[in-house]
Structure 1
């Protein structure tokens, strides 16, 4: 490829992120690019341990919103510096299931942590680093949660009330409006149309950046 890119799939529970990741993965690999796939929180041994800590239901111990936020950025720091940046430097594309927009939507919107408190953590962790393309899979919270329940038991965050996810979705949509590298995909459409829209958005991105084997 002419240059490696960092692509992220975002969305609420039940938005269809997993199928979107699979579709984008195959599309990028079909161009002849080397690709590293990862997820957040997670992606390294330490970050995966943090993921378990974040998602675990601690029952008698309250997980403060500040603790949750700090854990998310700790895991992100490990992933960015140990996996994502090294892969990009080696000319490999990186595809991530979630990244920084998740924290700004879930902890910023859902948990209602002021963006001015999140910004210093972003500066320390990312130092201006950001995805080249973000595909946000948009779904109404009630629809997404119904889909998620159909998959099995919900984790600590997935057990939040509907208002939490409504705030999170609202923040996601605002962040996408502000980010020229973000594309909103309506995941409440028939799956064939969803996949068509993903392919179209990815192809426009590849064409724009002249991302062809070379």
Structure 2
């Protein structure tokens, strides 16, 4: 047994549109690699060929009406099941750290909270499709609406995907759902102020991860 690799660490970045999840995930991966840690970066929906195919369906749905909330939740769960089976679990079993841009808590906030399906339905899909896998820590990036609106305008202009382009009330409900999830699970979530330049926010992320890093010295 002593020859087996130690299980890796699973970190998920969560938050609404424009909070800087991709940037902070990249900066964290660079910092971990500089410490000699093996890191896999990935995203949801996506991360594997099958999951990326589903991503395209989700963000650019066929037809005029788009997906119902139920169909959307099922597609996310199917994408995640493939992602977990073929990328996340194997990487963790090799001893790598996995940094994921969104995971199941996005489904809980978007489809379960703002979409009205409820948390129990999302968790049931996750239990069936991905055996209930949880990150070791969720980094929840939070910022005020004005900051996020400015970032999104700079990043996307007038173009948005099927989910990002939903009304402001929907995104407020998403933010409220994320806050509720973090409040109910303070050990599983680290709430990070995402206002500031990327390096300043990165320093906050590293500070939140320090206990986990200290316990996983390589």
TM value normalised by structure 1 = 0.92
Contact preservation (8 Å) 1:141, 1:162: no
- Residue number in structure 1 paired with 2:160: 154
- Structure 1 partner of 2:10: 6
1:127 has 2:134 as partner: no
How many residues get paired?
211
Structure ranking higher on relative contact order (CA contacts 8 Å, 6+ apart) = 1
Partner of 2:172: 166
- Correspondence 1:9-158 to 2 at 5 A: 9-58=13-62, 60-152=64-156, 153-158=159-164
1:64-107 deviations in Å (ceiling 9; x for gaps): 11111110000000000110001111111111111001100111
Q: Is the 8 A contact 2:142 2:193 kept in 1?
A: yes
1:182 paired to 2:186: no
Listed as ranges, the gaps of 5+ residues in structure 1 are none
- Return the alpha-carbon distance in structure 2 between the equivalents of residues 64 and 88 of structure 1: 33
Distance 1:31 1:192, change over 3 A: closer
Q: What stretches of structure 2 of length at least 5 have no aligned partner?
A: none
Query: Measured at CA, do residues 177 and 14 of structure 1 come closer, stay the same or move farther in structure 2, by a change above 3 Å?
Result: same
- Aligned-CA RMSD value: 1.7
Counterpart for residue 201 of structure 2: 194
Comparing 108-117 with 98-107, greater Cα deviation is found at 108-117
Secondary structure of the equivalent of 1:62? coil
Deviates more, 1:14-23 or 1:119-128: 119-128
CA contact (8 A) 1:38 1:94 kept: yes
The 2-side partners of 1:61 and 1:19 are apart by 32
Q: Deviations over 1:21-68 (max 9, x none)?
A: 111101211221211111000001110010010000545233211111
Deviation at 1:113, TM superposition (A): 1.2
Deviates more, 1:185-194 or 1:24-33: 185-194
Which segment drifts farther, 97-106 or 111-120? 111-120
